Structure 1
Amino acid sequence: MNRVQDREREREREMGMTPWLEDLVPFAAMVMVECLDVGLTTLSKAAMTKGMNHYVFVVYSNALATIIFLPLFIFQRKKTPPPLSFSLLSKFFLLSFAGITLLQNCVFAGVSYSSPTLGSAMSNLAPAFTFILAVFFRMEKLDLRCSKGQIKVMGTLVSISGALVIIIYKGPAILALLSHSGQNTSYPLNPSSAPKILRATSNWIEGSLFLVVASLSFSIWNIGQAAILERYPSKITILFYYYFFGTIQCALLTLIVGEDSSIWALTPDIELISVLYSGICGSAVVFSVLTWCIKMKGPVFAAMFKPLGIAIAAFLGAIFLGDTFYTGSVIGAILIVIGFYGVIWAQSVEGKAENHGVANGLQQASPQTPLLESQTHV
């Protein structure tokens, strides 16, 4: 008996970690990823509330990410330089446009108009939009005669319905409900405050629409990323050009829409902190940890943690920004999460069937890959 235990301990030492730790570390890592991701939107909201231009924020954060990946890119080019062509660089350029210029600007514009909580809720629309695009481009199989195909369609419709609820119906504030107040805090009785109320409602709708466009942009980026990775597997090279081209595009966009040169000034407080946080934690750290978790547990495992961001965002927003969570947001978020899990569950079951039980299915090239990866990085 002692010899058996000794062999098991020796095997665990060779593996580098105990079995229970092997399960705990990826779990803790994904919770950390969600905290860092929501922390980014919370900090950016605080910086933009103070007056920081969101276009400038995107430029600086991506410029910092480019600098971080530059040494890795140079080292890789010296070691095993993958061939580059004008066609490939053009694809990197378009990928940056979808994933940075359009996606990030819409995300931060939406958060500035609404709240980080709404941003986290709307990000769960990505699987639904990715599924629609994947079917359109014939990267995803859809069999309506199969129950899993019907679940994917229903999940997509439920998620989109949840987004419409958030956009159309704001409802009373949760805090007002908890205090047994029947008054809708979004619409006080004071007539003199009506213009301010209309502006707040308009901003909420605009923010929601920006976030919907951001989720659609992310889905387009994800489909394009999957297609490029099939032909060019060097992730470091893709990331470097992704951030590099995104920085150039956003800088040009800021010069076009910017009011004056004063918007480029960074104050050494929450503005500088948010930029550093975005470039270091929001790009380098989150992507690295997320990639490791996907290799350890698979893309479905990583995707299952995304709705956790809604609760984290609501908690951080209430503490640091004084945000209020509204009834419409709660109802819409619940619908989006239900649809999210429906699509992900059906997709994972089909993926397991096609891969014949291969563990994680990480290295399998299948039509399911784009959808499952749609929640790996926002």
Structure 2
Amino acid sequence: MASERTYFFYKDVLPFAAMVTMECTNVGLNTLYKAATLRGMSYHVFVVYSYAVAAFLLLPAPFFSGRSSVLPPVNFSIVSKIGLLGIIGCTSQIMGYTGIIYSSPTLASAISNLVPAFTFILAVIFRMETLSFSKKSTRAKFMGTIVSVAGAFVVTLYKGPKIIDLSSSHLSSSSPKLSLGSPQPNWAIGGLFLSTEYILVPLWYIVQTQIMKEYPSELTVVFFYNLIVSILAAIVGAFSEPDSSVWKIKPDIALVSILCSGVLGSCLNNSVHTWALRLKGPLFVAMFKPLSIAIAVAMGVMFLGDDLYLGSVIGATIISIGFYTVMWGKGKESTIKDKVINLESSSTPTSPLLQNYKDEDMESR
């Protein structure tokens, strides 16, 4: 009984709690990043230094994994896939930041909500997710993905009337508002760059999951990934930011942002994502993208004194419904697989018990 509880905690409770924690952390890191870039820090510099910090922290990982007798030897196939992962990660970040420059963060948030849909499609293409609408689990995952994406669009695009007013009217009237948008936005070009980014993100999930199947050492893979992204970003940054003074970081919000992003983002966040991808698959990880918008709204109201609008409440509710629908489908699918594996391990291939269970499972769908 105790082993079953431990297994349930490791397979279901811990990944869920870890992903929610990481999304909350990402909200704080994004706030620090915005504050640093508003002070003049280049995003090329930010990417290079933050990933370099993460690679330095994970430097011992390859030496420890090299001593393991469980892991396979590092071969050309593994190295090439990690290299491809680094290229995808670096390209997606450059595309995303460029897209925001041409358009706005609002459009970026709206298009990012398509990550679960893109991930689901790619996971089906690469046969990581089964698509059989005769199964309740498949219908739940499909409908939950659509509902979550719809809810995220509601939060992003619909404001609605104000429910809770926490802002000070005299401060808002006397203080100039800071715009994060481009003064002359080119939405077509920006949307193209952002769409490319959020097609690459699900592809990153897919490639990372494949690497974990071949070489299940999260910290080692994340170390090489961070190192490759830092090197590639430095090469791009050398052409984009030729002024050497831009690369000098002062001990202010820019340094804090780089260190926090390197430790909590590129190091911890990527490691947790890689672990969750190996344990639960790409769709599970992608489903937290719309949920992160609801988390950002909640944290903004609780800690930053942001106003709460009706659109945020409605959208967050829709996201939650879709999210838990997908989780229910994934949980049902995982339970069925575990029961079949346990029955197969304790029964012969011709066992009537196993055959009866499979028949009952088909009837329940």
Choose from 41, 66, 74 the match for 2:63: 74
Provide the identity percentage.
Answer: 42
2:285 and 2:332 mapped to 1: Cα distance? 16
Task: Determine helix, strand or coil for the equivalent of 1:70.
Answer: coil
1:245 and 1:325 mapped to 2: Cα distance? 41
Superposition pairs for residues 1-378 of structure 1, below 5 Å?
32-77=21-66, 82-103=72-93, 106=96, 113-114=104-105, 125-162=114-151, 164-165=153-154, 169-171=157-159, 176=162, 178=164, 202=185, 213-258=196-241, 260-286=243-269, 309-314=292-297, 316-317=299-300, 331-356=314-339
Tell me the C-alpha RMSD between the 2 structures.
Answer: 4.7
Letter in 2 for 1:130: T
Contact 1:103 1:217 in 2 (8 A): no
Deviations for 1:4-45, whole angstroms, at most 9, x for unmatched residues? xxxxxxx9xxxxx9xx9xx99988766643432222111112
2:136 and 2:14 mapped to 1: Cα distance? 35
Contact 1:95 1:242 in 2 (8 A): yes
Q: CA deviation at 1:65?
A: 0.8
Distance 1:304 1:153, change over 3 A: closer
2:98 and 2:302 mapped to 1: Cα distance? 20
Q: CA deviation at 1:284?
A: 3.3
Distance 1:107 1:131, change over 3 A: farther
Q: Which moved more, 1:81-90 or 1:282-291?
A: 282-291
Q: CA deviation at 1:259?
A: 6.3
Contact 2:164 2:308 in 1 (8 A): no
**Structure 1: unaligned runs, 5 residues or longer:** 1-10, 12-16, 180-192, 360-378
2:13 and 2:334 mapped to 1: Cα distance? 24
Distance 1:135 1:28, change over 3 A: closer
1:158 and 1:308 mapped to 2: Cα distance? 12
**Structure 2: unaligned runs, 5 residues or longer:** 166-175, 343-365
1:177 and 1:200 mapped to 2: Cα distance? 30
Q: CA deviation at 1:287?
A: 5.3
Distance 1:278 1:128, change over 3 A: same
Task: Determine helix, strand or coil for the equivalent of 2:60.
Answer: helix
How many residues matched? Answer: 321
Letter in 1 for 2:40: G
1:127 and 1:68 mapped to 2: Cα distance? 30
Deviations for 1:164-222, whole angstroms, at most 9, x for unmatched residues? 5566x3545x6x5656xxxxxxxxxxxxx9xx899579599988876665443221111
Distance 1:310 1:206, change over 3 A: farther
1:221 and 1:293 mapped to 2: Cα distance? 13
Q: Which moved more, 1:264-273 or 1:348-357?
A: 348-357
Letter in 1 for 2:75: S
1:322 and 1:204 mapped to 2: Cα distance? 31
Q: CA deviation at 1:56?
A: 1.6
Q: CA deviation at 1:313?
A: 2.3
Distance 1:57 1:203, change over 3 A: farther
Distance 1:178 1:316, change over 3 A: closer
Deviations for 1:347-374, whole angstroms, at most 9, x for unmatched residues? 2211211221779xxxxxxxxxxxxxxx
Contact 1:34 1:305 in 2 (8 A): yes
2:81 and 2:285 mapped to 1: Cα distance? 27
1:209 and 1:30 mapped to 2: Cα distance? 29
Letter in 1 for 2:77: S
Task: Determine helix, strand or coil for the equivalent of 1:221.
Answer: helix
Letter in 1 for 2:208: Q
Q: CA deviation at 1:243?
A: 0.9
Q: Which moved more, 1:314-323 or 1:131-140?
A: 314-323
Q: CA deviation at 1:251?
A: 1.4
